[in-house]
Chains A and B, each alone.
Chain A
Amino acid sequence: MTEFEGQLSGALRTAVADAQPPPAVMAAVRRRYRRRNIWLAAVSAVTIALLASAIPIASALRGGGQTANGRSSAAPLFPGGGRLLLDIHGVLEWFYPDGRRVRIASGFAGAALRSGKLLAWKRGNPPGASRFLPRGCSDPSCTAIHDLSYYTMNLDGSDARLILPAKSPVGNIAFQYEGAQLSPDGSTLAYISQELRNGTGSVFLTRSELWSLDLATARRTDLGPYAAYAPFVWKDNTTILADSANGKSIRLINARDGSATTYLTIADRGLIGAYRQARPGSGPLSSVSLAGWNTGTSNLALSLTGRTRNGAPMGLPVEIPLDQAQVVAFAPGTSPWISLSTTWGPHGLFVLDSRLNKTCGLTRQIMYAGEAVSGRLSRVRTIQETWNAAAVNHQGTVIALAESAFIDFVPVPSPACDAAGKCLRFGEKQFFEPAFAGGVKLLAWDPG
């Protein structure tokens, strides 16, 4: 330790040596805890009529009739209309522009909207699962990693139905259901089923398969081996687009009988041409995987990976309009190490999260908006350094970005907003709620 460091250490010690916490810390913590619970209970208990005519509960409990950004509670807290689906520390809630927070259900780890229904998943603790925890894992999130159960429910939380319960371990084998998705009409669930074997201090993945579950008949169909955590998307109510084992093609799988055909391969001339155009000078196309399904236009979105001259993988997203021959490629950056994720909006709009991961929160993260018609990406201007989730309103004019206790709202930039028929102009709006800190997840933006 240098002399400077020594003096720094001494200064820190001296500065707080006599500091004492306020009296009755625990009482204050309990008060804060009760206030939060009262707040949540109040939001879920008060009727819509009362909420519409009275002061928004959230603002009232914060005091002063002012929102976090100082505006009158009569003004919308955020632009874009509709309502946001949030997961706040395991409680699914609707969050409205007037500040209302309406509780849907609690104890869930996440949810997705599909066909006017919610598919929600919950961590439980089937008997015997705890012995499969990784050795040395003490984080609370590790306490239930092999036991997701899936539910469907109405948008208000009613009619909740357990459709895929977590399975208890059998002998030395544990089971894990991942990535479940409802078909567009909500009649069938597709999911990845994994088997894990408990070894000497470690847990090994021994099997991973894609399955479908008919919700009307409870019939399960084995759709064959599938890589753990690999993406798949429903193309229509009976077929699933899926990655291939070798990463060289995309397959079309019949969800009723498991029969599969090749949908496209890396030899597809459209893919090769788009990749070369977006990544001039790169090596040959080496793999293709699903990035999602642009529900606004029925375009298939893919992630292509080629090789740089020094052999490093270099990926970029492309969109393939199914009714057009032209493949549209988007190249948001030149680093081969950029990771990309996509959030779909209406009218073919998507937001592309480009992330160059470093460590310790030092992520270079840029968000773009784009659509296949113009084939251009526009940078979304935001003061937020990082965000964990994005959603686009149903009009395709506003993007919401969530991180920690903040939800930011930014206009969709041009030309991406042109698809919506109008482009909004407003400065970034921010909603700050201390109760969200460390726990809010933005799941979807529903028209309401």
Chain B
Amino acid sequence: MGREAGDSFEEFVRGRSAHLFRLALLLTGQNQAEAEDLLQIALERAYRRRASLSRDRSPEPYVRRALVDASIDRWRALRRHAEQRLEAADPGSGVDDWAGELANRDLLLQSLAALAPRQRAVVVLRYWEDSSDAEIARLLGCGVGTVKSQRSRALKRLRELAGVSPSFPGGFPSKGSGVP
């Protein structure tokens, strides 16, 4: 494997690790340790294939896909073992006292963490990365229609989890506006 491929991969990591780490953070429901681990897993996979990746294109699509896949793998592992992070992120408690304790943003992010990982990935890619449905479909390897339906379900679920009141059909009231 050539030094050239290694150098260009390092350059890629230097330039894009901040963005990829933020993506990992959102995919893991803002768990710092998991996000660091996820980023390393995805980059190590790409590092193994750096020669072929560097030759044909930027490794970024591969790494982003690996991040999403690894986050789903991790979620499955957690679901099968004792650590049930999804329960810990139960938004119900947030709904009860959200007016007093949690800012809208935190409640939304908590709710995001409770989504299934693929739905979460669709939401993050769409609303954080501003990727189009077609781009997301390409990345996840599925149809545009499926991405749309996943996104629609995710938004519906987020609204439910975050307890968006019918009084605020468009979304949350802005901060400090006095929540009933």
Contact = CB atoms under 8 A, between A and B. Distances in A.
Interface of A is mostly: helix
Contacts of A167: none
Contact of A360 (B21, B30, B36, B142): B142
Contact of B170 (A4, A19, A26): A4
B49 interface: yes
Interface in B66-91: 66, 69-70, 73, 76-77, 80
A49 interface: no
Given A360-B150, A434-B41, A5 B26 contact: no
A398 to B, nearest CB: 19
A138 B57 contact: yes
Contacts of A28: 40
A359 B146 CA distance: 7
A312 interface: no
Given A360-B147, A404-B73, A4 B17 contact: no
Contacts of B159: 4
Contact of A32 (B44, B112, B142): B44
A30 interface: yes
A158 interface: no
Interface string B50-70: 001100110000100010011
Interface in B84-131: 104-105, 108-109, 112, 118, 123-124, 127-128
A337 to B, nearest CB: 15
Contacts of B140: 360-361
A437 B69 CA distance: 9
Nearest to A133: B56
A13 B128 contact: yes
A12 interface: yes
Contacts of A438: 45, 66, 69-70, 73
Given A7-B172, A12-B127, A21 B142 contact: no
B5 interface: no
A434 B118 CA distance: 19
A8 B13 contact: no
Contacts of A437: 41, 45, 69-70, 73
Given A3-B170, A13-B128, A21-B18, A36 B44 contact: yes
B52 A29 contact: no
Contact of B40 (A9, A11, A12, A25): A25
Contact of A8 (B18, B36, B80, B123): B123
Contact of B118 (A9, A25, A358, A361): A361
B66 A360 contact: no
A362 interface: yes
Q: Which bucket holds chain B's interface residue count? A: 35 or more
A89 interface: yes
11 contacts: A7-B104, A8-B158, A16-B26, A25-B43, A26-B14, A28-B40, A138-B56, A360-B150, A362-B146, A432-B77, A437-B41
Interface of B: 10, 13-14, 17-18, 20-22, 25-26, 30, 36, 39-41, 43-45, 47-49, 52-53, 56-57, 62, 66, 69-70, 73, 76-77, 80, 104-105, 108-109, 112, 118, 123-124, 127-128, 137, 140-143, 145-147, 150, 155, 158-159, 164, 170-172
Contacts of A14: 105
Nearest to A28: B40
B77 to A, nearest CB: 6
Contacts of A5: 127, 155, 171
A33 B104 contact: no
B108 to A, nearest CB: 5
A64 to B, nearest CB: 15
A143 B77 contact: no
A2 B170 contact: yes
Nearest to A10: B105
Nearest to A13: B128
Interface in A8-58: 8-16, 19-22, 25-26, 28-30, 32-33, 36
A21 B39 contact: yes
B73 A405 contact: yes
A7 B21 contact: no
A38 to B, nearest CB: 13
Given A404-B73, A405-B73, A19 B22 contact: yes
Contacts of A140: 49, 52-53, 56, 62
A430 interface: yes
7 smallest CB-CB distances across A and B, nearest first, come from A360-B142, A4-B171, A3-B170, A21-B21, A16-B22, A3-B171, A360-B146
A143 B56 contact: yes
A404 B22 CA distance: 24
Contacts of B57: 138
Given A359-B143, A437-B69, A33 B47 contact: yes
Most chain-A CB neighbours within 10 Å: which of B57, B108, B143, B147?
A: B108
Given A19-B25, A437-B70, A7 B52 contact: no
Contacts of A434: 41, 73
A19 B164 CA distance: 28
B172 A4 contact: yes
B55 to A, nearest CB: 8
B47 A6 contact: no
Contacts of B123: 8
